[in-house]
Amino acid sequence: MGSKRIWISTEPEDPLKDPSSTSCSTLSLRLSSDEIARLRNQDTKNLLRNKKLYLILDLDHTLLNSTPLTHITPEEEHITGRQDAYEGSLFVLEHMHTMTKLRPFVRTFLKKASEIFEMYIYTMGDRSYAHEMAKILDPNREYFDSRVISRDDGTQRNQKGLDVVLGQENCVLILDDTKKAWTKHKDNLILIDRYHFFASSCQQFGLSCKSLSQLEMDESEGGGALATIIGVLKRIHTIFFQVFCAFSN
C-alpha cells in the first residue's frame, strides 16, 4: 500500500523549547492512505464538535511584510531606529539580516480568528524563517503551537497543498495573497490584497508605485484588509455551522 507524508501537530517534550529547533521527524510522519484518512476524520470530528474550522494563513504580504536590511531605500531610512513609533509592529532581525513589519490589526485578527478556527501558518519561505515569524506573531504559542508549515515541508515544488494539513478539505479555509500557489484548492481560497509596506515588496511584483513606508503611511488599523477579512471569515463560519447543524439533525 502506498504512503504519504502528513504534517501532524505535536507538543514538544519541553514546553519551553524553541519550536524552530524541533526536528522535522517529530512533526512530519509517513503514513498509509488509510491511516491518514482515519486521522483526518477523527481530527475533523473533534474540531467540529467544538464548532471550529481550519484556517490556513500565508505569511508574506498577508500577515506581514519582510525585507532584507540591505534593500532599505534612502526614502525608508526614517523607519530605522524608530521601532517604538510603530507600537511593537516593526522588528529588526539582525541574525537574519531582515526587517519585518506586521500588518495593522494582525494581533486582533489572530485573537478573534482563534476563537472559531484552528490555525496553521503555511509559507513559501524556508523553515527557519517560518518559525522566526511564528515567534513574532505568536510569542506565547497560543494560536499555532507547532502548526507551522514551510516550503521545506511541502510535497510539490512552488505549490502549497492541503495534503500536509491534518483536516478534511471541506472544513478548510485558506487566506493568501497569491492564487497561483493554490491551484488545487481554489474553492478553499480567500484572496487578500497584498501588504506592500517596504519598497522591495513593490519592486518584487513589478509595481511602479511607492510603498507605504516610502509614503510614511500604513494601512488603517480598524479599516484595513485584515479587519475586513475577519468579518468575512465569521460569516462563512456561521453559514457553515447553520448548514452542518441542519444536516446533522
pLDDT tens for residues 190-204?
999 999 999 999 999
The whole-number pLDDT of residue 10 equals 45
Burial class (CB within 10 angstroms; exposed 0-12, middle 13-18, buried 19+) of 59: buried
The whole-number pLDDT of residue 19 equals 43
Contacts of 28 (CB under 8 A, 6+ apart): 5, 6, 7, 8, 153, 164
The whole-number pLDDT of residue 4 equals 53
* 177, 122 contact by CB (below 8 A): no
Query: For residue 30, which phi and psi values (nearest 5 degrees)?
Result: -100, 115
Is the dihedral angle over the CA atoms 149, 152, 154, 157 positive or is it negative? positive
User: Which parts of the chain register pLDDT below 70?
Assistant: 1-32, 83-84, 249
The whole-number pLDDT of residue 81 equals 72
pLDDT tens-digit profile of 115-134?
999 999 999 999 999 999 99
The whole-number pLDDT of residue 12 equals 41
The whole-number pLDDT of residue 66 equals 98
Dihedral, CA of residue 113, residue 7, residue 147 and residue 238, to nearest 10: 10
Amino acid identity, position 102: L
CA–CA separation, 173 vs 123, rounded Å?
A: 15
Give the distance from CA 42 to its chain's centroid: 24
Helices (H) and strands (E) in the chain, counts: 5, 10
The whole-number pLDDT of residue 75 equals 93
